[in-house]
A and B are shown apart, each in its own frame.
Chain A
Amino acid sequence: MSDVRTLAAAFVVTLATITGGAALTGFVTADGAAPAPEIQNEHYVDGDAVANDTPGQADVEMETATRSQTVLVDPGVEPTGAVPVSPLALLGFGGPSVADRDVRPLANALIENGHDVDVYVPDPEQQRRAVPPGAEQGPTQLGERLAEADAFVTFRTDYDEAELDEIESFAESGGHVVVATEPDAAFDQPGAVGLDATLDVTTEPGYVYNMEENDLNYQRVYAEPTEESDAALTEGVDRAVLPSATPVGTTIAGSDVLRPVEGSELSTTRASTEAPLLVRTDGVVMVGDSDFLSPENAARADNDALIGNLADFLVTNDRTPPGPGGQQSPTGPTGPTEPGQPSEPQQPSGNETTG
C-alpha cells in the first residue's frame, strides 16, 4: 500500500514539476506585445473642443409709429417665360434670388406694424411687350411698382438703364432704399456698378473674414457700430453677424454705420480692414450682405435689433407716392424725373397707404 502511495506521490510531483516548469518557462519567454501606452490627447477633450450650437432667439421690433407705408421688395427673381429677360439666364447665371423666408423677419416686422410689403416679380409676358415704332417707352414694370411704393428693398443689382433712372427718381423723391448685396454679386452680375453710381455707393470686390473672432465660421463676421454711426440704425446693436460680407462705401463722409470688428481681413488683400459693411446716406442704406436677414441669422448677436432698425428706416421716408389722381400722366415717360415726381404707374393703384 505504501508503494502505491509512493508511486502516486512521485507521479504527482513529477507531473507538477513538468507542467509548472512549462508554465513558468512560457511566462518568462512570452513574446507578446507590451501593453499599449496610454496616450492622453487633451486637445480632444478640453472645454473649448465643442462649438456652441445654440441657435438663439430673434425679437424684431419697430419703434416708429407712422402711417402705413408700402415697401417694395425686389428679391431678384428672373422672369419665368420662354425667353429669359437676360441672356445670362440662359447660361444659368440668375440673380441672387432671395426666398420668401429669407426676408421674413424684416417683412413680418413691417406687416405687424401695419405696413404693406409688395414683392416685385417680373411678368415675362409684359417684359416682352414690344414698343410700337415712334412710341415713347413707358415705365418699366419695376417703375410701375416703385411709383406705388414708399420704400424699396433690393437684392439684385443688374438693372437696365430705364430701371436705374426710375430707382434714382424714387430715391430723389424721398423714398428710402435698402440695397443688400453679396461678395459674389461682383462675379455674376454685370452692371452692378450702374446701381452703385445711381445711388452714390460703392462696393469693394472681395469678402471680409475674421479668423480670431467670428460666429462659427471665418466668413460669418461680427460688425459693430462706428463712432459716428447713425444712432437710429444702431440702436440696440452692439454687434451684428454678417455672413459673407463685402465692404461697401459712399461718396459722403460720415456715412459709415457698421464696420467689422478688430482682426477682420479682406480676402483680396489678406490685410486687416476696417472698411464699413453697412453705410447710410440720407435715403439709402447699402449693406454688403443679404444673408443676415434670414430667420436663422436674425437670431444671431443683435441682428434682430438691426433688422428692426432697418424696418424703421424704411418707413420713415419723405416720399408721397402719387396715388389716384396724381399729377403725372399715367403713360408718362420714365426718363429722369424731377425729384418728388416719380414714375407714374400705368394703372393708378387704389393704395391707401400713401405716407
Chain B
Amino acid sequence: MSTNQPSTVLTSRQQLAVVVVAAAVVGAVLAPSVYAATNDPDDTVAVVEIEGPVTSALADDVESELADIRANDSVGAVVLKLDTPGGAPVASERMYKAVQRTSEQMTVIASVQSISASGGYYAMAPADEIYVLPTSTVGSIGLNAPAPQTTAPVQGPSGPDKAGGNEIQAWAEQQTLADTFVDAMMAERGDEFQMPREEVAQADVYLGTEAVQNGYADEIGSLNEAIHAAATEENLGEYEVDTRETGPDIGFPILLRTDTQVVAVHANDPGYGEVEPMGLTYVHLEAVPHVDTVERFSESDLDRGGSAADTGATGNETARLTGGVGA
C-alpha cells in the first residue's frame, strides 16, 4: 500500500517548476520598479505660468514651482508661459533669480503670449531662448516712478529721511533702481541686443516681429512650439507636459494707475486692505488702465439722460433699465 501512496518529496523537475513560478511571481512584483528605474526619468516638460501683475504672491508661487521642478528628476525642461505687464521690482528680481537658477540646471524657454514687459521681461531674461508670437509685446526695460518732490518739513519723525527726504537723493535712488534692471538685462542678453545700452534704457517696447530682429526675443513661435523646442533640446523623445499654474486664481490683483502711482487692487469694490500702492514699479504703464477709465465703465449711475431726473425713484430705475436715452 505504502508504495502506492504519492510521495511527499518533490522530484527535481517539480522543484524546478516551483522555483520558476516563485521567481516569476517575485519578478512580476519587481518588474514595474525595475522598468521605472531603467526608463529615462527626464520625460516631462513643465510649463510654469507667469500671468498677471508681478506681485510677491506670484513670485512665491513661481519660486516654489521652480524649486520643486529642480528637485524633480522626472522634469527635463521648463517652459515659462508669460503674460504680464510687470509689477513690483523685488518680485521681478525673485523670479529672475529663480529662473536663472533653473536655467543653470536644465533648458528653460520663455514663451510670451500677449505681453511680457518690464518686470515680466526681467523674470524671463535668463531663459535660454525667448519665443514670441508676431504681435506679442516685449521690452519696457526701466523703472516707472513719479518725479521726486520736495515737501514741506514734517515734525515728529526721528530723522530727516523717515518722512520726506531730499529730492536729489530720491532721484539717485530711482536711477539706481533703473540701472539695476538695465544692467541685469545687459548681463543676460547684452550679446543678443542689437543696440547699445543707452537705447535699451529708453524702455521701449517691441512687437514680436521686431523683437526677433533686435535681440529682445529669439524665435517666433507658439507655446507648443516652445515646449517642443525645450523637449528637443533635452533629447526627451516621448514626453509629457505638466502645466503648473501660479499666482492667485481669482482674477486679482489687477493693476490700476492713478495720476501719481500704480496700485494693485485685490477685489471688486475693494476695502482699505485690498488696495496696495505699488510705489516704484517695473511695469509697462500703457498696459495698466487709469482708474478713471475703469470707473467710467463700471459706474452704475451713468448720466444717460435728464428726462427721468424729476420722476422719482421709479422713473430713475426705469430710465436705467431702458438705457435712459429719452432725453
Contact = CB atoms under 8 A, between A and B. Distances in A.
Given A55-B166, A296-B166, A217 B171 contact: yes
A39 interface: yes
Interface string A278-302: 0000000000000000111001100
Given A33-B71, A211-B198, A211-B202, A49 B168 contact: no
A52 B179 CA distance: 12
B184 A41 contact: yes
Interface residues of B, number: 29
Contact of B101 (A32, A36, A44): A36
Contact of A39 (B70, B101, B171, B183): B101
A216 interface: yes
Given A33-B71, A296-B150, A217 B180 contact: no
B318 interface: no
A178 to B, nearest CB: 22
A42 B168 contact: no
Interface residues of A, number: 33
Contacts of B100: 39, 41
A49 B176 contact: yes
B172 A53 contact: yes
B187 A43 contact: yes
A212 B176 CA distance: 15
A56 interface: yes
A88 B171 CA distance: 32
A37 interface: yes
A48 interface: yes
A217 B202 CA distance: 11
Contacts of A33: 67, 70-71
Consensus secondary structure, chain B interface? helix
B179 A216 contact: no
Contact of B174 (A49, A52, A101, A217): A217
A51 interface: yes
B172 A212 contact: no
A108 to B, nearest CB: 17
Interface in B67-97: 67, 70-71, 97
B184 A43 contact: yes
Contacts of B184: 41, 43-44
B167 interface: yes
B276 interface: no
Contacts of A52: 172
A294 B183 CA distance: 32
B104 interface: yes
Interface in B155-198: 166-169, 171-176, 179-180, 183-184, 186-187, 198
A54 B167 CA distance: 11
A220 B171 contact: yes
Nearest to A54: B168
Contact of B198 (A46, A48, A50, A212): A212
A296 B164 CA distance: 14
A32 B172 CA distance: 44
Contact of A211 (B101, B150, B180, B199): B199
Contacts of A296: 150, 166-168
A216 B70 CA distance: 40
B198 A53 contact: no
A156 B101 CA distance: 55
18 contacts: A33-B71, A36-B101, A37-B105, A41-B100, A42-B187, A52-B172, A54-B168, A55-B166, A56-B168, A101-B150, A212-B198, A216-B172, A216-B175, A217-B174, A218-B201, A220-B171, A295-B150, A296-B150
Interface of B: 67, 70-71, 97, 100-101, 104-105, 150, 166-169, 171-176, 179-180, 183-184, 186-187, 198-199, 201-202
Given A51-B175, A53-B173, 10 more contacts: A37-B101, A41-B187, A48-B179, A50-B176, A52-B172, A215-B171, A216-B168, A217-B174, A217-B175, A218-B201
Q: Which 5 A-B residue pairs are closest in the complex by CB-CB distance?
A: A53-B172, A211-B198, A33-B71, A216-B171, A43-B183
Interface of A: 32-33, 36-37, 39, 41-44, 46, 48-56, 101, 211-212, 215-218, 220, 263, 294-296, 299-300
